[in-house]
Amino acid sequence: MVKTRRKGTRRNGVISGIKKWPSGRIPYVISGQYSERERAVLARSFQEYHRRTCVRFVARTPLDRDYLYIGKIDGCFSDVGRAGGRQELSLDDGCMQYDTAIHELMHSVGFYHEHERWDRDNHITILWQNIDKDAYDQFGKVDMSESSYYGQMYDYFSIMHYDSLAFSKNGFETMIARRPEMTAVIGSAIDFSPIDILKMNLMYQCGNRRAIKEEELLVPSIPAPIPPVDFSKDECVDKTNLCWRWLDRCSSFFFEKIMKEFCARSCGFCTPKPFVFAKTAV
């Protein structure tokens, strides 16, 4: 999720040198709130940036005025790019998974969501009638004059793309892909896409990188859908027939509330009824 200092225009990758981190060096301080396991998630996330890009997350020194403070602040959010001074990146208890961590860190590197590109209407359709009004700013559109996609095509596989049920107020989809087979793909990434890596390397001039052609992408197989079981006669029911597609969101901080309301049965949020023993004659 993006923490914005003002509502309005959005960028996919920042252009201004002021918002980039000099030489791709990002100082950080990690809150003492994290357990050993949670610190291991952060360490793995940093390591993958170091392995695949020239961006470097380094422990803050007294000379570093601008730095990330990573803590359990309020959900999952980050500023985009270098904000100046101490800037907060929140990874709360429900956010401590590798995919969420690299997503928020990529915001801090300098990237907005893929579905906020200025050309996104050529690739997805936003269904505003299904979006929680408090989340409208998560679906803003970029300012073309300030954005750069580094010559890359729209990336349905990006770790920076929300899924089609994000911030739904009624259990129905909030965005669909213009290529129907891609609706199930968006928001399903658990790691960087090839284009995510390429754009970061281009932003920070990590070396000569050519644009990826669509036919060169390895498209992951999409499992055949399994229709949901009809629990309509049970008191604890799913309120949408899409739950079987979103089971990985049941424990997500972003989606827990909506999943409890619309997919209680599939997610296992139902309270089991106490077993009543039948009385027997003595």
Would you list the DSSP string of 23-85? Answer: GGEEEEEE-TT--HHHHHHHHHHHHHHHHHSS-EEEE--TT-SSEEEEE-SSSEEE-SS--SS
Q: Which DSSP state fits 227?
A: P
Predicted structure pTM score: 0.72
**pLDDT (tens digit per residue) in 124-164:** 999 999 999 999 999 998 787 766 788 899 999 999 999 99
Domains of the chain: 17-109 (3.40.390.10), 114-208 (3.40.390.10), 231-282 (no CATH)
Tokens of 102: 């690299």
* Binding residue numbers for Zn(2+): 103, 107, 113
**pLDDT (tens digit per residue) in 230-264:** 444 456 777 766 676 667 677 776 566 667 777 78
**pLDDT (tens digit per residue) in 82-102:** 999 999 999 999 899 999 999
- Centre a 10 Å sphere on the Cβ of residue 235 and count the other Cβ atoms it contains: 8
Active site residue 104: yes
Q: How far is Cα of residue 153 from the mean position of the Cα atoms in its chain?
A: 19
Could you tell me the CA-to-CA distances from 192 to 102, 103, 116, 206, 230 in Å, in that order? Answer: 8, 9, 18, 17, 36
pLDDT at residue number 231 = 40
* Residue 106 and residue 196 in contact, taking contact as beta carbons nearer than 8 Å: yes
Catalytic residue among 36, 38, 104, 114: 104
Alpha carbons 197 and 191: distance in angstroms, whole number: 10
